[in-house]
Structure 1
Amino acid sequence: MKNNQMKFVMIAALVLLSTGVFAQTQFAVGIKAGPNFANLNRDESPGENYKNRTGFHAGAFALIKISKIGIQPEVVFSQQGSTFKYSGSRDLKSNFSYVNIPIMIKLYTVAGINIQAGPQFGILTSAKEEDYNVTTGKITEDNIKDDMKKSDVSLSLGLGWDLPFGLSIDGRYNWGLSDINSGASASSIKNQVWQFSVGYKLFKIGK
């Protein structure tokens, strides 16, 4: 008799616990987009020669949130690269495009504000670099994809705010950990990207 009572108490406790967890669980799918301010960390030249290249990113995300913790995998198309000042006057661009897959861990504080961190895995889709011809005075664009590694790994750190009506605002810094240079030059090249996003949850289940 006592064993049956113990079993009943344990089952009731598990049901109450699972009900409480389910009540605090949210699943959502949405889209996001915004500007990038990208640069390349090169060890071959003084850093002041390079400055940000402005691009954009756009993609989709899924959010699984349990109480104060969220996991948010994403698939994002991202324009990256840098701008190089040639001979002190002309701006030449390195135009890289990636499909990035960040997997963010989100710690929620108050009023939907959250701290974000996680790895990002990138797949290079295109890599072009502008070149200035002194003889003709024209700028051409060369395909340098074969000189770049086809994958990239970054650490993403950021701050977000989940607003009412399914809106969200995020700011992140994607710190490149991989050397993406596979060309003849021995110099190291790493991605650096500031990223600001506006997102919208297309549908949501739970709070």
Structure 2
Amino acid sequence: MKRTIQVFVACFLLLAAQQTFAQMQLAVGIKAGPNFANIDTKASAGQNYKNRTGFHGGAFVLIKATKIGIQPEILFSQQGSKVQINSQNFESNFTYVNIPVMIKLYTVAGINIQAGPQFGFVTNAEAPIEDQLNPGSYKVADVKDKMKSSDITAALGLGWDLPFGLTIDARYNLGLSKIYDKAPSTQQTTDAKNQVFQLSLGYKLIKLGK
């Protein structure tokens, strides 16, 4: 009798595992789209920062079971802002390699709500600094040595997994950590944080499961 029960339980667990696997999806894909980036700061200098349009692109892996999915990504991302100093217009150009890890809650017809942390690593940074040869005048220069090497962001968004492997995402990334160790100039502030709105179009190159 005991052995019969053991066999029954083993068969039940095997069947449950098969059903779970049948409902799972593993996908690998690529995505890209525009960034609408700015600098978030509480200082009065914040009024001088305006949106800058950039680009992001990279790859993702989706592991989905029924209504819940987890999607780690690796993205090249152009960020920064437009900034006005002494009536002169400049652009702060920051390039990051970002690694978001998104939890996706699926509702109907592939529509999903997304949330998760994003970890960024700065690879290039240019911002306006005062020209030492011409005091009072500014120029765009390399300021990577004044930046923090990493960035932490909270990401929130909506997505839609379409037929034929297509995906559409709209995501807002709100910086949680300050981006500067030292402000590039007296006209800028060390409390600056990244904020980026992203629109993405993706495609699942490999898809296993439902």
Query: Under a length normalisation based on structure 1, what TM-score does the superposition of the two structures give?
Result: 0.92
Report sequence identity in percent. Answer: 58
Name the structure 1 match of 2:118: 120
* 1:77-97 CA-partner distances (Å, limit 9, x unpaired): 000001113344x42111000
Name the structure 2 match of 1:82: 81
Q: Which runs of 5+ in 2 are unaligned?
A: none
Name the structure 1 match of 2:142: 143
Q: Distance in 1 between matches of 2:116 and 2:144?
A: 27
Name the structure 2 match of 1:129: 127
Kept after mapping to 2: 8 A contact 1:51/1:82: yes
What does 1:26-175 align with in structure 2 at a 5 Å threshold?
26-88=25-87, 90-130=88-128, 140-175=139-174
Q: Distance in 2 between matches of 1:187 and 1:76?
A: 25
**SS at 2:44's partner residue?**
coil
Distance 1:31 1:38, change over 3 A: same
**SS at 2:14's partner residue?**
helix
1:48 Cα deviation (Å)? 2.7
Query: Under a length normalisation based on structure 2, what TM-score does the superposition of the two structures give?
Result: 0.91
Q: Does 1:8 align with 2:7?
A: yes
* 1:150-200 CA-partner distances (Å, limit 9, x unpaired): 000001000000000000000000010011110167731110000110000
Give the number of equivalent residue pairs. 205
Q: Does 1:200 align with 2:199?
A: no
Across the aligned residues of Structure 1 and Structure 2, the Cα RMSD in angstroms comes to 2.2
Kept after mapping to 1: 8 A contact 2:105/2:113: yes
Q: Distance in 2 between matches of 1:139 and 1:146?
A: 18
Q: Which runs of 5+ in 1 are unaligned?
A: none
1:139 Cα deviation (Å)? 6.9
Q: Distance in 1 between matches of 2:107 and 2:31?
A: 22
What does 1:174-193 align with in structure 2 at a 5 Å threshold?
174-183=173-182, 187-193=190-196
1:49 Cα deviation (Å)? 1.9
Q: Which amino acid aligns with 1:141?
A: V
